[in-house]
Homo-oligomer: A and B are copies of this chain.
């Protein structure tokens, strides 16, 4: 019998999680919540998802000629678990916070998972499939960490397991806006995060406690992917080949190379298209194979992160962990990936 999943917030992440869940055989989407009758709502209907709305939102959908199946509360009651992909408070102070929604889910006695836009303290439990799947088994609430933190966990955790990590210095070169976003800049500037550490280091520690990591960040005028440049001091000696071997065996990490013409994030994203991925998404972290350099006890590497999609398989795994559908994280990852067509290539 399939776990009944409700999606609260059908935007960048919500719509992707809905599609990924739909491809699994142990869970299914019973409905998605939208607050306004946008074209995204129309596409949800087109895909066959039932639309649920806030109590006072029905009329707007009726006016737009979109059929709704009920209220958000009705959906939550019918669900086993809720994937919260709501955007949080807006800059003008309107909107509903994760805290508000957590209260709703708790009152209804429903499990829920949140996204990395929320803080760790909301649930006290942060989730990454590779780093700490087991911690979430049977729990009520978890937070799937952000796209960047997911990227850090995917490559750092296996190193930590294999060689031990003395410390990490990570510089995050962040995309300033998503591909569909035409409002946000900069058009021609680099914007530094002046706070050190940037939030990324501490956030990685929420899934990898005790990891000695420092992070700095900048925003740059691109929409495709984030890039990380990392300097890692290993505890045990390792060669470049040793490191590559560890990542070859790690889920959702792929190699690209400038020698194959993959010189930038532009060519990385073309791979997602050539692989036939839905929405041209790249769920894996792309590590430049010829950018992996071991110098003494230091490992240097560069990776690219598709901010719109890398957390999607983690959401599926997190549902499985919270609902106790699978005890073994590696098995859940394998099952998720097979259903989603994520294969090493």
Contacts and interface: CB of A to CB of B under 8 A. Distances in A.
Count chain B CB atoms within 10 A of each CB in A195, A224, A271, A278 and give the residue with the most: A224
A288 interface: yes
Count chain B CB atoms within 10 A of each CB in A43, A186, A214, A218 and give the residue with the most: A186
A7 B192 CA distance: 34
**Size bin of chain A's contact surface:** 35 or more
Contacts of A227: 190, 192, 218
Contacts of A222: 186-190, 220-221
A223 interface: yes
Interface string A243-262: 00000000000000010111
Number of chain copies forming the complex: 4
Interface in A251-294: 258, 260-267, 269-271, 273-276, 278-280, 288, 290-291, 293
A316 interface: no
A263 B43 contact: no
A231 interface: yes
Nearest to A37: B260
Contacts of A180: 266-267, 269-270
Nearest to A12: B270
Interface string A189-201: 1111011110000
B295 A261 contact: no
Count chain B CB atoms within 10 A of each CB in A190, A270, A275 and give the residue with the most: A190
Given A187-B222, A192-B288, A280-B273, A182 B266 contact: yes
12 contacts: A39-B271, A169-B169, A171-B229, A180-B269, A184-B184, A187-B222, A188-B221, A192-B264, A194-B258, A194-B302, A216-B231, A221-B221
| 4 interchain residue pairs of minimum CB distance | A194-B291, A189-B266, A182-B186, A191-B264
